[in-house]
Structure formats: structure tokens, C-alpha cells
């Protein structure tokens, strides 16, 4: 009886103490800031309070040493999510990073790393490519006509450059970056594309052909590199971006009836190129040639941030013929067109749209005339056909039309051209001729 009484008293005391402890914790959770969060969620640290010196810690399986951090108003992060990774003292909070002295990391470190990576890439491109980029001196009667740039494309000594660099030259002297000099002979030229192939009999040791890349897939904003000899300064490198693609470059050759042919898919760049860069390679960040630097738009003769390169995809299509035959034969439709016209001109042509290529002239006896195309006339500006597709590929501009022809067709091929005639689609089939 005595033992049972004592046991009852002991149980009563223990239960009372436990109840008192629970009440104390509950009151503390209400009146002490942050304690409620620690009590309710043991894997979450306290919310930072501006001006408070606290400890920000990552709850790991392995204890982590932390240092006191003063939190300012702008640096309060809510919530601070636990992580199992701490990298070089940087504590991650969701997608936000703060370093251990409380300063937001922002992207300074990543920016520095990116800059270093870009720098390493550029250095690597230059070291790999520059030995194969040459300085071309055009001479006539022992006088210098001018100079430009070229680059080696195979082990046989063929070099690509611009036609205007070597035009009218009686002698070509080639200087390699290592100082080796030799003469070159002209193998093939094309004035309309401003492309030429020349050849040296011997390449200096260590010279490797450059890799020809892909220009069709270039995107506006991509980094590009130009290497050349601006103003006679050997082996100069410049960096820029692709400013635009699909530009049209008119040929230097004037047609008997006026006007000129046009090269499609030219690449507009802001990489500084100047007189002497002509014929040099335009490179992507893999060190592949995507274009041949050809022209600048300038009112002063110096670079103004608008340069143009010949797309390498078109050049590659021409190369076998230039090397084997010395020239290239283009497909020919035999039409003159108006394209990229405004609302007033569309109304003048009797059109309800401003896209497509409107036929304004036909070459007598040419493929288009033989296929039954209709052209606008002096008497009736609304009589022409509007070209809207070739082989089911949409044609929104004249550049779309000639780009498809340059990259996909040859003389003798048959194509189906869709035109709008009196507002209705009509398919016309023609056989491409050789361009005169």
C-alpha cells in the first residue's frame, strides 16, 4: 500500500514536469521571433531580419562551419532553402547565390569565366587558322595594283580569295605568315560572286587547309572572326557578330541592258574589316570558314560597322567547276522582277500583298517566256505574274528565289514555279538555261 502511493506521487511529478516543459516551448514559439519556424520545420533556418547578425547555414549530413553574416535590407532572402552542396564558400538558395561576406555573387565569377573561355577560344582559332591565311600582292608591270587576303583550302596549294583582289594583275606574289613568299597562278574566277581560286606550287611546312563550314545555318548574333591584312597589316584578327543574313550583293558586272545580277545569302557582319581584308576568311567559333570577306559599306572608305561576306555554301558549290574549268555556270530563268515593294507600289501592280517576286520583264526566248510567264507592261502594270513558290518552297522576296536557284539547281534542271495570276495560283514548269 505504501509502495503504490509513492509510485503514484512519482508519476504525478514526472507528468507535471513534462506538461510544464511543453507549455514553455509553446509560449516561446509565440513570443520569440523565428523559434516557431525552427520548432515546426527543423530543416529550415530562421528568416533573416535586416540589421540582425545571424548565422546562415546549410544543413548537411556533414557538419559545416559557418561564419556570422550581417544581413542588409537588399540582401534578405526568403526562404533560404537548404542544400546538400556548398561550393567554395558559396551558399546556394534556390536560384540565388550569396557569397560568405554577404555580397550577392550576381554573375561576376561566371562572367569572368566566360571571358576567359572566349579568350582561350579566340587564341586557339588564331593559332590554328592564321598559318593558312596569306597576303596577296597584285602586280602589273612591276607596280603594285593593290593587296588583299586569301586562305588555303587544300594540300595541293589552292587558295580562295575575291575576284576583285586579283583582277587585272599580271603577277601575284603570295606571302605566308612565317615570311615565306612565292608566286601564284590564277585557276578560276567568277566576277558575279566575286570569287577567285589561285594556286601556289609549294606550301610552307605546317600549313594546313582550312575547314569549310556551313553558312546556311548561321544565326544573327553568333560570334564571328575575321583574319586578314587590313591596310597592309599582316595577320590581323578582329571579332564581331553576325548582324544579318540573307543580304543581296549586286555584281560588279553591269549587264548590257542595265542592272546587274545579284548574289544571295550574303552575311552582314560588324567585325571590323577594312581595305586589305578582302578575300580573307570569316570564321565561326569552331574555326570553320563560313564566308569570304568581300565588302564594306562606308562613306569614308574605312570600316563603319557594316561589312559583307560571301556565303561559303555557295562558294563550295562553285569550287569544283572553278578548279576544273576555270569558271562557273549559273542557272537562268530569264525574268526581271520587283520585290520587297511598299504598299503604294503593290497597289500600282494591282496586288493585295507585298510579298513575292513580281515579274516586270521577260527575256525573249528565255525559259520563263517559253513556259508562258506573263510580265507587266508599260501599258498595263498589273499584267504580270507574282512568283510565290519554287518547287513548293515559298518565295517571299527575290532573294528567296535566287537563293533556292543558286543552292539547289543547275542548268538543264526542270522546276515548277507557282505564280498568282489574277489572284489565282498557277503552276508553270520550265527548264533552266545557262546564264549568259
Domain at 135-328: CATH code: 2.40.10.120
The residue among 350, 339, 332, 328 whose CA lies nearest residue 397 is 339
Per-residue pLDDT at 174 exceeds 80: yes
Residue 135 annotated as catalytic: no
Set 190, 192, 194, 313: catalytic member: 194
**Residue tagged 520585290 (cell numbers):** 339
CATH 3.40.50.300 fits 331-434, yes or no: no
For the record, the C-alpha cell of 120 comes out as: 582561350
**Residue tagged 586579283 (cell numbers):** 166
Instruction: Give the whole-angstrom CA distance, residue 245 versus residue 403.
Output: 12
pLDDT at 302: 61
Instruction: Provide the mean pLDDT of the chain.
Output: 81
The residue among 274, 218, 280 whose CA lies nearest residue 243 is 218
Instruction: Give the whole-angstrom CA distance, residue 242 versus residue 225.
Output: 10
For the record, the C-alpha cell of 360 comes out as: 516586270
Residue 278 annotated as catalytic: yes
Per-residue pLDDT at 9 exceeds 50: no
Interacting residues of 290 by C-beta distance below 8 A, sequence separation 6+: 213, 214, 215, 218, 224, 267, 282, 283, 284, 309, 311, 312
Residue 306: other Cβ atoms inside 10 A: 16
| 3-class secondary structure, 345 | helix
Q: 144 to each of 9, 79, 165, 198, 367, how far by Cα in Å?
A: 118, 72, 12, 18, 44
Set 278, 309, 336, 338: catalytic member: 278
Instruction: Give the whole-angstrom CA distance, residue 106 versus residue 93.
Output: 13
Reported as a single tens digit per residue, the pLDDT across 53-76 is: 333 333 333 333 434 444 333 333
Reported as a single tens digit per residue, the pLDDT across 179-207 is: 999 999 999 999 999 999 999 999 999 89
Residue ranges covered by each domain of the chain = 1-31, 135-328, 331-434
Instruction: Give the whole-angstrom CA distance, residue 369 versus residue 385.
Output: 12
Quickly state the pLDDT bin for 37 (edges 50, 70, 90).
very low
The residue among 409, 398, 404, 417 whose CA lies nearest residue 435 is 409
Higher pLDDT, 306 or 213: 213
Quickly state the pLDDT bin for 287 (edges 50, 70, 90).
very high
For the record, the C-alpha cell of 189 comes out as: 574566277
Task: Give 319-379 as a DSSP string.
Answer: HHHHHHHSS---EE--EEEEES--HHHHHHTT-S-S-SEEEEEE-TTSHHHHHT-----SS
Set 158, 164, 215, 309: catalytic member: 164
Residue 41 annotated as catalytic: no
Amino acid at each position: 500500500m505504501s509502495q503504490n502511493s509513492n509510485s503514484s506521487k512519482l508519476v504525478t511529478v514526472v507528468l507535471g514536469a513534462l506538461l510544464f516543459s511543453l507549455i514553455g516551448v509553446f509560449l516561446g514559439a509565440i513570443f520569440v521571433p523565428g523559434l516557431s519556424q525552427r520548432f515546426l520545420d527543423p530543416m529550415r533556418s530562421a528568416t533573416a531580419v535586416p540589421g540582425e547578425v545571424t548565422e546562415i547555414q546549410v544543413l548537411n549530413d556533414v557538419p559545416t562551419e559557418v561564419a556570422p553574416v550581417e544581413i542588409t535590407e537588399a540582401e534578405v532572402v526568403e526562404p533560404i532553402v537548404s542544400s546538400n552542396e556548398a561550393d567554395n564558400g558559396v551558399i546556394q538558395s534556390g536560384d540565388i547565390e550569396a557569397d560568405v561576406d554577404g555580397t550577392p555573387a550576381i554573375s561576376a565569377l561566371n562572367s569572368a569565366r566566360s571571358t576567359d573561355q572566349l579568350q582561350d577560344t579566340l587564341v586557339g582559332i588564331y593559332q590554328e587558322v592564321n598559318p593558312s591565311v596569306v597576303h596577296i600582292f597584285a602586280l602589273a608591270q612591276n607596280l603594285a595594283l593593290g593587296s588583299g587576303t586569301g586562305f588555303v583550302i587544300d594540300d595541293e596549294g589552292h587558295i580562295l580569295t575575291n575576284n576583285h583582289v586579283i583582277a587585272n594583275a599580271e603577277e601575284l606574289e603570295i606571302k605566308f605568315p612565317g615570311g615565306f613568299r612565292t608566286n601564284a597562278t590564277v585557276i578560276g574566277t567568277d566576277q558575279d560572286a566575286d570569287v577567285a581560286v589561285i594556286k601556289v606550287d609549294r606550301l610552307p611546312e605546317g600549313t594546313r587547309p582550312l575547314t569549310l563550314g556551313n553558312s546556311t545555318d548561321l544565326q544573327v548574333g553568333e560570334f564571328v572572326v575575321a583574319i586578314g591584312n587590313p591596310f597592309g597589316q599582316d595577320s590581323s584578327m578582329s571579332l564581331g557578330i553576325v548582324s544579318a543574313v540573307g543580304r543581296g550583293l549586286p555584281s560588279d558586272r553591269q549587264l548590257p541592258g542595265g542592272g546587274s545580277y545579284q548574289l544571295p545569302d550574303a552575311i552582314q557582319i560588324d567585325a571590323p574589316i577594312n581595305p586589305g581584308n578582302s578575300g580573307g576568311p570569316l570564321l565561326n567559333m569552331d574555326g570553320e570558314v563560313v564566308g569570304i570577306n568581300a565588302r564594306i559599306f562606308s562613306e569614308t572608305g574605312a570600316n563603319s560597322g557594316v561589312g559583307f561576306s560571301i556565303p561559303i555554301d555557295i562558294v563550295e558549290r562553285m569550287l569544283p567547276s572553278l578548279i576544273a574549268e576555270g569558271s562557273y555556270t549559273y542557272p537562268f530563268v530569264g525574268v526581271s522582277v520587283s520585290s520587297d515593294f511598299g504598299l503604294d507600289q503593290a497597289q500600282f501592280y494591282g496586288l493585295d500583298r507585298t510579298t513575292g517576286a513580281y515579274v516586270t520583264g521577260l527575256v525573249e526566248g528565255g525559259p520563263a517566256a517559253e513556259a508562258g510567264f506573263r510580265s507587266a507592261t508599260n501599258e498595263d502594270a498589273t499584267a504580270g505574274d507574282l512568283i510565290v513558290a519554287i518547287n513548293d518552297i515559298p518565295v517571299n522576296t527575290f532573294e528567296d528565289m535566287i537563293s533556292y536557284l543558286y543552292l539547289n539547281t543547275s542548268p538543264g534542271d526542270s522546276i515548277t514555279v507557282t505564280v498568282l495570276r489574277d489572284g489565282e495560283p498557277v503552276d508553270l514548269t520550265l527548264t533552266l538555261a545557262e546564264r549568259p
